[in-house]
Amino acid sequence: MEFQLPREIQAGLDAARVDNLRKASRLRIVADGVQHKVLRFWQTGFSMDAETAPHLRGLVDLYDGSVHLFQCLIVAMDEEGGEMRFEFKRATRVSEEAALDFERDPEAPVGLISVDAPH
C-alpha cells in the first residue's frame, strides 16, 4: 500500500529536510571563485539546495571546512526533493605532497649521519 501526502505537506517536509542538511553540512564547493554549500556527498556525486544551486558544469573544488578534499569535473543531473544533484565525471583527491616521478626504494636510508658529528 502506497501512501502519498498532499503536495503542500510534501513540499514543507522537503524544505525542512533541506534546511536541516544545510545547517549540518560543512562541505562546500568553489566554482569560479564563488562558494556554494553542499548538502550531501556520496561516492559518485553530491547535492545542493535546488533554490540556490547554480547549474554548474565543469571543474570545481570540494572542501570540508578549510580542508581541500577533491578537484572534480562535474555535470548537473536532476532535481529531486528540493535538492539539485550533481555527478562526478572525475574526482581527484588532493594531496599535500607533490607527485614523485620516480619510485622510492623502501630500503633507502631515511637520513644521513655525519662522521664529523660531535658526541
The DSSP call for residue 70 is E
3-state secondary structure of 98: coil
Instruction: Note the pLDDT tens digit of each residue in 62-99.
Output: 998 888 999 999 998 888 888 899 999 999 988 877 77
Site of grid cell 565543469: 58
Facing residues of 42 across strands?
A: 45
In the chain, what is the greatest distance between 2 CA atoms, to the nearest angstrom?
84
Question: Hey, what domains does the chain have and what are their CATH numbers?
Answer: 26-93 (2.40.10.430)
Q: Which amino acid belongs to residue 20?
A: N
Model pLDDT, residue 111: 79
Q: Of residues 24 and 8, which shows the higher confidence score?
A: 8
Distance of alpha carbon 107 from alpha carbon 62, whole angstroms: 36
Instruction: Indicate whether this model's pTM tops 0.75.
Output: no
- Average pLDDT on 7-14 reads 71
Statement: residue 56 has pLDDT above 90: no
3-state secondary structure of 97: coil
- Average pLDDT on 27-55 reads 87
